[in-house]
């Protein structure tokens, strides 16, 4: 994007990095360890924003004209929040919970520029067909989705073969609501 300083992307997600490249945004990845725990009384939307803001606060020492972009994606179903699975058995359990149902994918985003914090979220509804236990186990063994909220990647086998439809942004389910991010970053170059 013309006129935009290089963005610091605080994410090791190769999917978020690819989405930034597809938006033609110059960025560099800077990682900081952040405790991703959150208060139990928050709604799923508040959790995604809370963690995204915690990640941004780790960059408090930045000055000048740098822009920091952080994000956190969670999956919510039947009042439960599904983060990243702890192990393969937990991933199987999560996918069994999602199978044949509708869930929500919520990505909280925080953009910090010149001391100002702009935070927002996006929500997509994802409709999964009924998956067999054999399909779930095979997917978990083959793709090891331990780094993904809800234990799946929409761009991988289970997403390609198991998702019937989406209401909302596809890229939000991938991990970054690009249309909203792009519009917010565009405002910084005016």
Q: Is the pLDDT of residue 188 over 80?
A: yes
The pLDDT tens digits for 145-168 are 999 999 999 999 999 999 999 999
Give the pLDDT of residue 125.
98
- Per-residue confidence band for 62, with pLDDT thresholds at 50, 70 and 90: low
Residues 6 or more apart in contact with residue 141 via CB below 8 angstroms: 88
**CB-CB contact of 108 with 49 (8 Å):** yes
28-47: pLDDT as tens digits: 999 999 999 999 999 999 99
Percent of the chain clearing pLDDT 90 (strictly above): 88
Predicted pLDDT of residue 64: 67
7-187 CATH pick, 2.60.120.200, 3.30.2130.10, 3.90.950.10, 3.40.50.300: 3.90.950.10
Domain boundaries of the chain, sorted by first residue = 7-187
Q: Which helix (H) or strand (E) holds 108?
A: strand 102-113
- SS3 label, residue 82: strand
Strand duo 116-128 + 67-77: pairing: unpaired
Q: What was the pLDDT predicted at 63?
A: 57
3-state helix, strand, coil in the chain (%, to 5): 35, 25, 35
What residues are annotated to the active site? 72
Rounded to an integer, the average pLDDT of 11-31 is 95
Q: Which two tokens stand for residue 9?
A: 């992307």
């Amino acid at each position: 994007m013309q006129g935009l300083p290089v963005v610091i992307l605080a994410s090791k997600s190769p999917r978020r990095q690819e989405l930034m490249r597809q938006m033609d945004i110059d960025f560099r990845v800077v990682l900081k360890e952040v405790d991703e725990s959150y208060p139990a009384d928050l709604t799923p939307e508040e959790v995604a924003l809370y963690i995204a803001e915690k990640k941004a606060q780790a960059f408090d020492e930045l000055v000048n004209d740098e822009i920091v972009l952080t994000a956190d994606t969670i999956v919510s179903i039947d009042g439960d929040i599904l983060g990243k699975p702890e192990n393969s058995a937990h991933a199987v359990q999560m996918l069994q919970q999602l199978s044949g149902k509708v869930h929500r994918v919520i990505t909280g985003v925080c953009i910090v520029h010149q001391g100002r914090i702009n935070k927002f979220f996006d929500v997509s509804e994802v409709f999964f067909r009924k998956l067999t236990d054999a399909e779930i186990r095979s997917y978990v063994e083959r793709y090891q989705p331990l780094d993904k909220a809800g234990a799946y990647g929409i761009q991988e086998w289970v997403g390609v073969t198991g998702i019937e439809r989406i209401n909302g942004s596809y890229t939000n389910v991938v991990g970054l609501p690009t249309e909203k991010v792009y519009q917010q970053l565009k405002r910084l170059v005016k």
